[in-house]
Amino acid sequence: MKISVIGLGYVGISNLLLLAPYHEVFGCDSNKSKINSLKNNESPINDKEVKEYLLKYGNKIIFTSYISDEILCSDIIIIATPTDYDEHIKYFDTSSVEKVIDIINASKSNAIVVIKSTVPFGFTKKLQKQYSNLTIIFSPEFLREGKALYDNLYPSRIVVGDKSEKGKSIANIFKSSSLANDVKLICTGSDEAEAIKLFANNYLAMRVAYFNELDSFALKNNLNTEDIINGISTDPRIASGYNNPSFGYGGYCLPKDTKQLLANFSNVPQNLIQAIVDSNETRKNFIVESVLKLKPSIVGVYRLVMKQGSDNFRSSSIRDIILKLHAKNINIILFEPSLNVDTFEGFPVSNNLNDFANQSDIILANRIDDSIQHYKDKLFTRDLFHEN
């Protein structure tokens, strides 16, 4: 079967490599430098399995920076382009998905279109009405950044927003490409599939927010956060996932998906969904206040990435904290090995860890690793379990 993936972020790349061993596959992204890297079997993202699969199967994949006729002749076209949340319109920016579907429609392609991009509630149904000659199916992904291909190879479940035979065949294509022995297939309506994605990510954000607020309470009352969390998490109904305190949730999905679901609740009574969004901002403000109480002159920020093992700066909570501290006239210095520059967004960058530590009164680290442990006398972190 000929399958094309358009949009090669971590979702697109992980789907492309999942399918590459078993199908004729094409990968498309408008970023030419990314395409050139992929052609050389070099991963543009930090993901162990992606790197391994590129070396093993990369030569089977045809990469291109434009939507070619060959792509349009595919049996299945997977769209995994970015859909950022637009604060002005209170809605995902779905224009990248719509542009691709316009091109597919104009070409008279017979491909089944599978949307992997996260979209608002009701989006797929609206598109299907608009492009009645196309088969458009939404199939959400549930992937961790840095473990995206692993999560596709061993999925917790496969959800497809279509109950027809076409929908079931799409689900089975993903299932047969996985390495898991027993994968639950869930075929629903498109609205329900969109809701599954948004509510799943909101639940994860709620877990992060809950344990962060627990940690704020413990800090305020001079309690041992780790003991409290261990005592709570031994209850199997609660368990230990997503229980590690942080400076707030961030990354590609949780900030935008929580806001989108809140927008979809505009005509529905709710308290919790709003609280999830508000709690993240409250936590960041609490961290800033805690740092200010230590009266630093220079705060060193160790890593800008969202979490350990990630190379993503986008919507990282630490970046908001930097701006809040800067607004309080605190000098900031950054240590970020992935940056080969002297300044980033107006803040000086040090590439020497020892120099960075010596200049800093306090070292702020959302997630820690072995290299920063040597400077623990200056370290301010809430990373208790070094996971999640």
Q: pLDDT, tens digit, for every residue of 185-226?
A: 999 999 999 999 999 999 999 999 999 999 999 999 999 999
Same domain, 214 and 178: no
Backbone angles phi and psi of 362, in degrees to 5: -135, 140
pLDDT at 236 over 80: yes
Any domain includes 203: yes
Same domain, 233 and 376: yes
In the structure, what pLDDT confidence band is assigned to residue 90 with cuts at 50, 70 and 90? confident
Active site residues: 253
Shared-domain flag, residues 302 and 327: yes
**Statement to judge: residues 83 and 228 lie in one domain:** no
pLDDT at 354 over 80: yes
Structural domain harbouring 376? 197-380
d(CA 262, CA 259): 5
Q: Tokens representing 183?
A: 């994968």
pLDDT tens digits for range 54-66: 999 999 999 999 9
CB 41 within 8 A of CB 61: no
Q: Are residues 174 and 231 in the same domain?
A: no
Same-domain status, 95 and 169: yes
The pLDDT-based confidence of 386 (bands split at 50, 70, 90) is confident
Are 376 and 385 spatial neighbours (Cβ–Cβ below 8 Å)?
no
Query: Is 386 contained in some domain?
Result: no
User: Quick check: is 385 in a domain?
Assistant: no
**Looking at the structure, do residues 265 and 376 belong to the same domain, yes or no?**
yes
Segment 346-356 shows an average pLDDT of: 95
pLDDT bucket at 68, cuts 50 / 70 / 90: very high
Residue 192 in tokens: 């329900």
Name the average pLDDT for the chain. 95
Task: Pick the closest to residue 263 from 66, 362, 122 (CA basis).
Answer: 122
| pLDDT value for 89 | 84
Instruction: Give which of 36, 155, 26, 43 is closest to 78, Cα–Cα.
Output: 26
Residue 63 shares a structural domain with residue 170: yes
Q: How far apart are the first and last CA of the chain?
A: 37
CATH number, domain with residue 229: 3.40.50.720
For the chain, what percent of residues have pLDDT higher than 90? 90
Mean pLDDT along residues 260-271: 94
Domain boundary among 171, 188, 205: 188
Q: Do 329 and 364 fall into the same domain?
A: yes
CB atoms within 10 A of CB 354: 10
Our CA angle for 200, 203, 208, nearest 5°, is 130
**Residues constituting the chain:** 388
184 in the same domain as 202: no
- The residue among 188, 210, 244 that closes a domain is 188
The pLDDT value recorded for residue 1 is 95
Cα distance between residue 92 and residue 256, in whole Å: 8
Cα distances (Å, whole numbers) of residue 54 to 44, 48, 151, 218, 312: 11, 10, 16, 45, 20
Q: Say if residue 172 is exposed, middle or buried (CB neighbours under 10 Å; 0-12, 13-18, 19+).
A: middle
Question: What are 302's two structure tokens?
Answer: 């160790």
pLDDT class of 310 with cuts at 50, 70, 90: low
Angle between helix 10-19 and helix 165-177 axes, rounded to 10 deg:
80
The answer to whether position 54 is within a domain reads yes
Answer with the residue of higher pLDDT: 89 or 244.
244
CA angle at 179 for the pair 21 and 208, rounded to the nearest 5°: 115
Q: What is the largest CA-CA distance in the chain?
A: 66
Final residue of a structural domain among 188, 223, 254: 188
- Sign of the Cα pseudo-torsion (336, 338, 339, 340, in order): positive
Residue 388 covered by a domain: no
Which residue from 376, 213, 373, 367 is spatially nearest to 304, judged by alpha carbons?
Answer: 367
If pLDDT is split at 50, 70 and 90, which confidence band does 309 have? low
CA atoms of 367 and 387, how far apart (whole Å): 9
Q: Do residues 366 and 222 share a domain?
A: yes
Q: Are 251 and 315 in contact (CB under 8 A)?
A: yes
Half-sphere exposure of 294 (CA within 13 A, CB side): 18
pLDDT at 254 (0 to 100) = 92
**Confidence check: pLDDT of 313 > 80:** no
- Number of compact structural domains in the chain: 2
pLDDT band, residue 142 (cuts 50/70/90): very high
Task: Please check whether residue 254 is in contact with residue 279, taking contact to mean a CB–CB distance below 8 angstroms.
Answer: no
* Per-residue pLDDT band at 387 (split at 50, 70, 90): confident
Residue type at 275 in one-letter notation:
A
